[in-house]
Amino acid sequence: MKNIQKKNKFNPKKDFFIWVFVVALLFIASFFKEIFPNLNKIIKFLIILIIIISIIFLSSITNKGKYVLNFIQESLKEIKKVAWPSLQETLQTTLIVSLVTVIMSLLLWGLDSLLIRAISFITSLRF
């Protein structure tokens, strides 16, 4: 029983070295084109793909990586529960918002014009 508990226990040193290796792989993937400019494009793509898969795998075995994967899984479950509007509802809502925006802008423009004329009449300035 004690061996099982030790295996599941958080090991910060192991996680630190894994993250250092992940950052090194990210650096290599970022500058791979400059490091090996004469390689075939397909080979470059495959090597970078392998590096990215390795990064995902290595980061997923750390404590923070497990937390992020769990968060992503829970988020996907919640997205499936959302009642998304239909296309017709979306178009109608967009039209209503657009019309209200145009009407409000015209009302504000008219009010602004009236206020400018009233102030210019009071102060005897001409605009």
| Residue 8 clears pLDDT 90, i.e. is over it | no
Global pTM? 0.51
Q: In the structure, what pLDDT confidence band is assigned to residue 1 with cuts at 50, 70 and 90?
A: very low
User: What does the alpha-carbon distance between residue 112 and residue 115 come to, in Å, rounded to a whole number?
Assistant: 5
* CA nearest to 56, candidates 92, 86, 26: 26
Domain ranges of the chain: 2-81, 85-127
The DSSP symbol for 62 reads: S
So what's the pLDDT on residue 78? 93
Cβ count near 63 (within 10 Å)? 13
User: What does the alpha-carbon distance between residue 73 and residue 24 come to, in Å, rounded to a whole number?
Assistant: 27
Structure tokens at 102: 């145009």
Q: In the structure, what pLDDT confidence band is assigned to residue 79 with cuts at 50, 70 and 90?
A: very high
Q: In the structure, what pLDDT confidence band is assigned to residue 62 with cuts at 50, 70 and 90?
A: confident
Q: What is the pLDDT of residues 10-60, one digit of tens each?
A: 677 888 888 888 889 888 888 887 888 888 888 888 988 999 999 889 888
